[in-house]
Amino acid sequence: MTTHNRLRELMVRVAHLERQAALVGGLEGRDLSGRDLRGMYLSKANLNGTNLEGADLTGVNLEGAILIGANLSGASLSGAILSGANLGRANLEGANLSGASLWRANLFRANLKEVNLEGAKLWAVHLKEADLRGAILKGADLLTANLEQANLKGTDFSGVNLVLANLTGATYDDSTILPSSITRDQLASMTKV
């Protein structure tokens, strides 16, 4: 590769980084529905109230991002990094978060109806009062997760790790598939409806 070609390639990379930095700085409340955002680095980005319905965020780094009240319904977040992200009251209905990392994420009162969290890492995640009706959590790891008062009707917890998870006041029904590893104390703290 010639020096000229290397310089040209470097200039293209710098221009891409400048566009990405400008985009990240002004995302709050924007309509990014259906956008292909794969490969974006959105760590600590302010995405409060942003519409990301149906967006492709596969593998995106959203560590520490603020997504309070954001609309991520139907979005693809497979393999995304959402550790420490604040998704309080966010709408993730029907989103794909399979294999995502949500370590210490805040999903207080989030809408997670029919979301795919298969194989996701949800260590110490805050899901208090979250709506997980019909969600798929097969093989997910919810070590020390807080699911207090969460709606778990019809949720599939097959093969889920619930060690030290707080399920106090969580509601479930006959269609909920609970893992074999659930303790008697955890089950007694839940409400069957």
Tens digit of each residue's pLDDT (9 = 90 or more) over 21-78: 455 557 899 999 999 999 889 999 999 999 999 999 999 999 999 999 999 999 999 9
Q: What is the pLDDT of residues 167-181, one digit of tens each?
A: 999 999 999 999 998
String of DSSP letters for the chain: --HHHHHHHHHHHHHHHHHHHHHHHT-TT-B-TT-B-TT-B-TT-B-TT-B-TT-B-TT-B-TT-B-TT-B-TT-B-TT-B-TT-B-TT-B-TT-B-TT-B-TT-B-TT-B-TT-B-TT-B-TT-B-TT-B-TT-B-TT-B-TT-B-TT-B-TT-B-TT-B-TT-B-TT-EE-TT-B--TT--HHHHHHSEE-
Q: Say whether pLDDT at 15 is over 60.
A: no
Provide CATH code, domain 29-193. Answer: 2.160.20
| pLDDT at residue number 8 | 72
Indicate the domain borders of the chain: 29-193
* 86 has pLDDT over 60: yes
